[in-house]
């Protein structure tokens, strides 16, 4: 991705977005409030402006993808034979996946093929293409694919209003990093009259505020310390490497769940409810529960459009294992064109094996941990810590730049784990390089989210549960911290996907 281009992109944590959102909000509710068509046109124009602020050239690609699935949906619905339906579905899927593969994976395949030829004695002279990855292409491609799949399955009738469908694909809060919406959920809201709701407005602002806290204060602070550790991991102790991996865990969570909170809060300002994308995943007691709480819109997408069509859990144990591995390997590849990302997905598939092979109830957690209690049991605490550790080890593979680096990083940690000095190494590194600030911020995050783990997000229902003076004190404290940390804010990690 062209890093210089990102300087002009309207990030959620930028001054540009702080001006853009109120302007669109004002026009939407004060100029177009009594006209749903005008509201939708306004939001569509705002969304295209939002996307075009990064690179105007890729507006044509977004428009093409939108038109492709809009007309394919109509043709699938109107087709008189099953064969014709399948032809139009295949046509849409082929072009969507083809465009995604070209922009995201072309150089990966060329480089991998060249490396294979070199390993068997040839000396290829391939030139990698100068391809700029269109931001958000993985997300809006999956929006369109879910639409044509649902039309094909008769779960939704295709809309013949191009404005409505275009807004579904490109609605600016979810355009570049999700959540991955379903037409069955969002299109009816786009086609329904929306009335301003002061309660939803206040709730949206709270979720935006909490999302900014997680991104600007948690994620970016952790990144300040995790990046140097990963960039120079050969010169770090095993304790420092483990600490860096844990910090990256909180960086990724704060970054991506923070983005999702801002997206959901922003959409709520305009009367829309987007799909929940995170549900306190670090309080999960198993890998299966983790994936029911992390990036929910992507997990459910692969479940509904890949896992279940392959037979899901209704097949024999070996086929079920195959289905799980296919889904996780595809999920890893979706996250990036590298063997590291594929291995990351494969590791999570391996971590899922106990719940598949033994089908024990201890792996099937559908309720909230320690529900009705202030603290978890020792068993629950051990389950959460072990799940967190497994995810941390897998994320090292995700973060490092090559498989060799991944193995060396993990080997250094593995050797140190069996050495009692690892705790002193962590303490020394923390004292010399970090101080108390990151630890204090992480503790605040964990405590606040634990106390509110039964809610949709940490500040949900704050207006009901907290007296007004204390509530406003919380708001001002969060705003003050945002101003204090704002200068160190970075781009969102998931923009690269």
**How confident is the model over 461-476, as pLDDT tens digits?**
887 888 888 889 988 9
pLDDT at 465: 82
- What does pTM read for this prediction? 0.90
Is pLDDT above 60 for 3? no
Per-residue confidence band for 9, with pLDDT thresholds at 50, 70 and 90: low
Is there a catalytic annotation at residue 34?
A: no
Return the structure tokens found at 445.
């995050």
**Could you tell me which of 243, 277, 212 has the C-alpha nearest to residue 409?**
243
Pick from 58-62, 69-73, 332-336, 436-440 the range whose average pLDDT is largest.
Answer: 69-73
Is pLDDT above 70 for 7? no
Long-range pairs, 230-236, Cβ under 8 A, ≥24:
230/399, 230/400, 230/409, 233/400, 233/405, 233/408, 233/409, 233/412, 234/408, 236/412, 236/429
pLDDT at 4: 37
CA–CA distance, 376 with 451 (Å, rounded to integer): 12
* Phi and psi based region of residue 166 (left: phi greater than 0; alpha: psi -120 to 50; beta: remaining): alpha
* Active-site residue identified among 34, 143, 235, 335: 335
pLDDT in tens, 182-208: 999 999 999 999 999 999 999 999 999
CA–CA distance, 70 with 45 (Å, rounded to integer): 18
Is pLDDT above 90 for 248? yes
């Amino acid at each position: 991705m062209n890093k210089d281009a990102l300087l002009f992109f309207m990030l959620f944590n930028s001054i540009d977005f702080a001006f853009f959102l109120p302007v669109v909000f004002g026009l939407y509710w004060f100029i177009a409030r009594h006209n749903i068509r005008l509201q939708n046109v306004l939001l569509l124009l705002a969304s295209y402006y939002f996307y075009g602020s990064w690179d105007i050239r890729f507006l044509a690609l977004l428009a093409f993808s939108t038109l492709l699935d809009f007309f394919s949906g109509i043709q699938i619905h109107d087709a008189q034979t099953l064969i014709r339906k399948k032809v139009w579905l295949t046509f849409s899927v082929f072009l969507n996946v083809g465009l995604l593969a070209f922009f995201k994976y072309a150089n990966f395949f060329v480089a991998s093929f060249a490396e294979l030829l070199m390993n068997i004695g040839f000396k290829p002279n391939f030139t990698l293409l100068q391809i700029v990855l269109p931001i958000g292409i993985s997300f809006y491609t999956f929006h369109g694919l879910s639409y044509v799949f649902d039309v094909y399955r008769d779960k939704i009738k295709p809309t013949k209003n191009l404005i409505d469908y275009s807004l579904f694909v490109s609605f600016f809060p979810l355009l570049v990093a999700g959540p991955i919406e379903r037409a069955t959920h969002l299109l009816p809201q786009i086609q329904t009259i929306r009335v301003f709701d002061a309660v939803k407005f206040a709730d949206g602002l709270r979720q935006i505020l909490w999302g900014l806290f997680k991104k600007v204060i948690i994620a970016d602070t952790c990144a300040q310390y995790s990046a140097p550790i990963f960039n120079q991991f050969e010169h770090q102790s095993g304790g420092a490497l483990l600490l860096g991996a844990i910090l990256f865990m909180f960086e990724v969570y704060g970054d991506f769940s923070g983005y999702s909170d801002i997206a959901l809060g922003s959409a709520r300002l305009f009367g829309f409810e987007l799909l929940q994308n995170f549900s306190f995943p670090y309080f999960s007691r198993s890998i299966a529960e983790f994936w029911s709480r992390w990036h929910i819109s992507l997990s459910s997408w692969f479940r509904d459009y890949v896992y279940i069509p392959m037979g899901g859990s209704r097949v024999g144990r070996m086929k079920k294992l195959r289905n799980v591995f296919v889904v996780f390997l595809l999920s890893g590849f979706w996250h990036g064109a590298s063997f590291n990302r594929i291995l990351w997905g494969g590791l999570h598939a391996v971590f899922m094996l106990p719940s598949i092979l033994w089908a024990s109830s201890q792996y099937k957690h559908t309720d909230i941990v320690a529900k009705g209690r202030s603290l978890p049991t020792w068993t629950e605490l051990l389950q959460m810590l072990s799940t967190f550790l497994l995810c941390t080890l897998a994320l090292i593979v995700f973060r490092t730049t090559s498989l060799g680096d991944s193995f060396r990083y993990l080997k250094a940690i593995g050797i140190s784990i069996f050495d009692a000095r690892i705790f002193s190494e962590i303490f020394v590194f923390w004292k010399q390089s970090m101080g108390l600030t990151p630890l204090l911020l992480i503790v605040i995050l964990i405590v606040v989210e634990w106390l509110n783990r039964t809610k949709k997000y940490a500040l949900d229902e704050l207006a009901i549960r907290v007296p007004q003076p204390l509530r406003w004190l919380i708001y001002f404290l969060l705003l003050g911290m945002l101003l204090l940390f704002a200068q160190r804010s970075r781009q969102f990690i998931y923009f690269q996907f």
